[in-house]
Structure 1
């Protein structure tokens, strides 16, 4: 049985995910995709070199902007697909209903949670809200000190497409 008050009386800090996988602003769109796949997440907060929060890349945006016809697009910095406007954020003390309203107003399935200094302290996704509504306990990990989590995976892409002699010919040359 849940010991939490009803969802309508809970605050953002009660339902947010605190231990976040983030990506550096200088990383590529391909890196964002790799991280999402490896970690099985759909949202990646983007941070600058000092750990400042810039926005969130979500799987839907990544998929919509992916262009397999131009492989160089995969090397664009992840900031190239961030919305031009910073996302509306809520404070940890905001009512869950306010967080849900912020999602609806932004047309997004997430809302960042920031402290009074604009530092990212968590993220609430639609999945977090559904889990809270269903009474599923959310593992609330304490916020680690320092920079948010950041995994680094180095995909290797060819620098150029190799030339293929006799490309149009059939059979051995």
Structure 2
């Protein structure tokens, strides 16, 4: 039986999630919320079209800033809720206790895992740490033959006959 090393002896790369769903800074808060619900995740990394890491949007931040005044506020871009800077980060080679301290000091339940402080390669959440402590394997998917993480971007696709919001698709009387 292969016993895993103690959690304190493992690195962020051993525990982090690499199969990530992402959004862009211009995607709406509503879209981010819907993606979180459908994917059953609480954190979405925010990447520009050029894959530049901007930060992480989490369900707690969206819920705390939700304004039930109308759809216009829900259509605000994700960038309006991002913290200044990229937030709490770690390196894949960091020890787990170091990353956990970073989480505690930042007041977040996650750290973005970056290489060279720029390229996103994963996300380490409190859930990942608890799963590792319980002896469960990390939730990750990497493409065969590569160590690169799988990152997904979902874009809404409207049928060709759709019309601008606010206009009925029913024919006139």
TM over 0.5: yes
How many angstroms apart in 2 are the aligned matches of 1:159 and 1:80?
25
How many angstroms apart in 1 are the aligned matches of 2:92 and 2:125?
14
In the TM superposition, residue 158 of structure 1 has moved relative to its aligned partner by: 4.6
- Residues 2, 137 of structure 1: 8 Å contact kept: no
CA gap of 1:146–1:60, structure 2 versus 1, over 3 A, is closer
Alignment of 1:132-171 (within 5 A): 132-142=132-142, 148-153=151-156, 158-159=165-166
CA RMSD of aligned residues (A): 2.3
CA gap of 1:146–1:8, structure 2 versus 1, over 3 A, is closer
Following superposition, which runs of at least 4 residues in structure 1 exceed 4 angstroms of deviation? 143-147, 154-160
How many angstroms apart in 1 are the aligned matches of 2:15 and 2:73?
36
Q: Structure 2 regions of 5+ residues with no counterpart?
A: 168-173
TM-score (norm 2): 0.84
Structure label with greater radius of gyration: 1
The equivalent of 2:47 in structure 1 is: 47
Count how many residue pairs are aligned between Structure 1 and Structure 2: 160
In the TM superposition, residue 84 of structure 1 has moved relative to its aligned partner by: 1.7
Alignment of 1:75-86 (within 5 A): 75-86=75-86
Q: Structure 1 regions of 5+ residues with no counterpart?
A: 161-173
In the TM superposition, residue 153 of structure 1 has moved relative to its aligned partner by: 3.0
